[in-house]
Amino acid sequence: MPAVVVNSGQHAEAVHRTFGEFRIRSDHDLPSLPAMPNLGTASRHLTRQIAALIAHCRPASVLVQGDTLTAYAGARAAAAAQCCVVHVEAGLRAPTIAQPFPEEWFRRRIARHAQFHFAPCASAHANLLAEGVPPASIHAVGNTGIDSLRTLLAQESLHGSSDRQRRARILVTLHRRENWDGNADVVCDALVAIAAQKRDVEILVPVHPNPRIANRLHRRLGGRPQISLVAPMGYRAFIAAAATAALIISDSGGIQEEAPYLGVPLLVPRACTERPEGIATGFVRLVAIERDAIVRDALALMAQRRAPAIAFDDTAPFGDGRAAGRIVDILETAMIRTAV
């Protein structure tokens, strides 16, 4: 089944770096997404660019993954061109459309356009059914992000750190829109307080390129001896840092899936999550955006006995690391039936 890979230009530098790590060749590179006055303008701009490419390539289907602006614009353009829309990582839902915004809004809108819904976990499958999506179009396959993690862990030993090394490092990422501005300040203040209470701790913070968050991180955390602000990390380097951390503090959705497979506790400074299975593993904990709450829970998670990492098997919450093969098989079968 031939595929055309498109780099939409959203976070272009990070995408090129990741493509390089996975040896993926982009067939079409759209211009880097320029600064736009608002999300609606950016969405229309990217939708027009992808629509022009669809008209040129004339694909039978368009596959989008996740909850990004690129995924939404791709689904919207494909639907307008009457192409089959395939949504990977479908069905994740938070209790309210406002948190996380715009990701939650994108997810729900993509679902209206998709003909294939590949659900990463049981709750996602249930959400799609509850929304009236035809059962035959929903496929519980796990998440392809876990495929990548399983492949990497099979290639490299990342669990060889000593207990001392694990106790000494906290890995932090912050980028979600709801944690911009004042919430970012609260998280930074909590990190400073944690460092003051644990003099042996090292806090590693890969800084997201968005200046809205990057400027605050540098202003609040820069120059502190226990806190290292570094450029965004490649996939392999990041997973290595995560696997050897004593604790991860992150508002990322993907890390909520990865942490249980790495056996590393994760503190999520958000009001809610679209991945309740992560919390059920015991590795993931939501925390209010309050300095004292973050400090208290971070210290508690670092002190508790470490549970074994969950296995890549059929009981794992986000799949056994073989989602991509299932997706290809389902799509190829559908194409054969259509051709007949």
Catalytic, out of 11, 76, 87, 89 = 89
175 has catalytic annotation: yes
**Distance in angstroms between the alpha carbons of the first and the last residue of the chain:** 16
Catalytic, out of 87, 139, 176, 208 = 208
Cis peptide before 100 (omega within 30 of 0): yes
28 has catalytic annotation: no
Torsion, Cα of 95, 96, 98, 102 (10° steps): 60
Q: How far apart are CA 51 and CA 76, in angstroms?
A: 9
Catalytic, out of 175, 216, 275, 326 = 175
208 has catalytic annotation: yes
Tokens standing for 295? 């400090």
16 has catalytic annotation: no
Question: Nearest-CA neighbor of 218 among 333, 226, 44, 228?
Answer: 228
Tokens standing for 270? 């958000």
Question: Nearest-CA neighbor of 181 among 216, 131, 152, 138?
Answer: 216
Catalytic, out of 11, 76, 87, 103 = 103
Catalytic, out of 28, 108, 109, 177 = 177
Neighbours of 192 (CB within 10 A): 17
Q: How far apart are CA 217 and CA 201, in angstroms?
A: 18
329 has catalytic annotation: no
Catalytic, out of 11, 67, 166, 258 = 67
Q: What is the set of active-site residues?
A: 67, 89, 103, 175, 177, 208
